[in-house]
């Protein structure tokens, strides 16, 4: 059976050409942290996540610094219990990149995102954003749910795919449910 274009694109991204990708990342590092793109770099992945080449869809590449995101140690008086350096951010890098894209483009809504590449200092993600005020989006029955007022600011509330995964809502076993609240799973599985 013959395979289609998107199958071959997916295969190329499974084992990308390392020298070409390295050259691209050098260019990406010189760009702004949040950069609007003409078209997606990984077309197969963008299409599978809901991207369409029509008015109202915007693709943004975001660069996020790698490394532990910790709170600085207090310099003045605290009891010893409060002097420890703790991890502050319980968000994945992908979710952080979605939030940064949303802050840059407040009139758009985050639909989804996907991983591009990483080097020693940065992660690179592409975020698919949708303009809910465009008539093309309002008239499209597959995406017009995002025009509802209930879906405004969905990335800040952890309602995107990356947000739900970081919040632990992707448990396969419903008996081991412990999110959204710690007590939600108590009393189950007896």
CB 64 within 8 A of CB 93: yes
Amino acid 183: pLDDT: 63
CA 34 to chain centroid? 13
The predicted model gives 157-168 an average pLDDT of: 89
CA dihedral sign, ordered 55, 123, 88, 90: positive
pTM, 2 dp: 0.83
> What are the pLDDT digits (tens) for 168-186?
787 676 666 655 665 655 5
Could you tell me which residue, 16 or 174, shows the higher pLDDT? 16
In terms of Cβ atoms closer than 10 Å to its own Cβ (0-12, 13-18, 19+), residue 144 is: middle
The predicted model gives 130-143 an average pLDDT of: 94
Three-state DSSP state, 43? helix
Residues with Cβ within 8 Å of residue 136, at least 6 apart in sequence: 54, 55, 56
Locate the domains of the chain by residue range.
Answer: 16-72+81-185
Phi, psi (degrees; rounded to nearest 5) at 125: -130, 155
Q: Is residue 187's pLDDT more than 60?
A: no
Q: Is residue 85's pLDDT more than 80?
A: no
* Superfamily of 16-72+81-185 according to CATH: Ribosomal protein L15 (3.40.1120.10)
Amino acid 190: pLDDT: 45
The widest CA-to-CA distance across the chain, in whole angstroms, is: 71
Q: Is residue 84's pLDDT more than 90?
A: no
Q: Is residue 102's pLDDT more than 50?
A: yes
Amino acid 23: pLDDT: 94
Amino acid 109: pLDDT: 95
**Which pair of structure tokens corresponds to residue 90?**
């319980």
Mean pLDDT check: name the lowest of 43-52, 72-81, 102-111.
Answer: 72-81
Give the E-state strand segments of the chain in sequence order: 34-37, 57-65, 109-118, 122-130
Average pLDDT value over all residues in the chain = 87
Could you tell me which residue, 72 or 21, shows the higher pLDDT? 21
> What are the pLDDT digits (tens) for 23-56?
999 999 999 999 999 999 999 999 999 999 999 9
């Amino acid at each position: 059976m013959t395979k289609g274009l998107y199958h071959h694109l997916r295969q190329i991204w499974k084992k990308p050409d390392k020298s070409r990708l390295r050259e691209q990342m050098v260019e990406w590092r010189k760009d702004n942290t949040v950069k609007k793109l003409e078209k997606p770099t990984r077309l197969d992945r963008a299409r599978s996540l809901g991207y369409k080449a029509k008015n109202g869809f915007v693709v943004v590449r975001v660069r996020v610094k790698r490394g532990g995101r910790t709170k600085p140690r207090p310099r003045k008086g605290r009891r010893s219990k409060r002097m420890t350096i703790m991890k502050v951010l319980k968000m994945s890098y992908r979710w952080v990149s979605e939030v940064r894209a949303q802050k840059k483009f407040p009139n758009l809504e985050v639909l989804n995102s996907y991983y591009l590449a990483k080097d020693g200092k940065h992660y690179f993600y592409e975020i698919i954003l949708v303009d809910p005020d465009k008539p093309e989006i309002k008239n499209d029955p597959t995406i017009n749910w995002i025009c509802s007022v209930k879906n405004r600011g969905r990335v800040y509330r952890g309602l995107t795919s990356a947000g739900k995964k970081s919040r632990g809502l992707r448990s396969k076993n419903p008996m081991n449910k412990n999110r959204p609240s710690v007590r939600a799973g108590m009393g189950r599985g007896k």
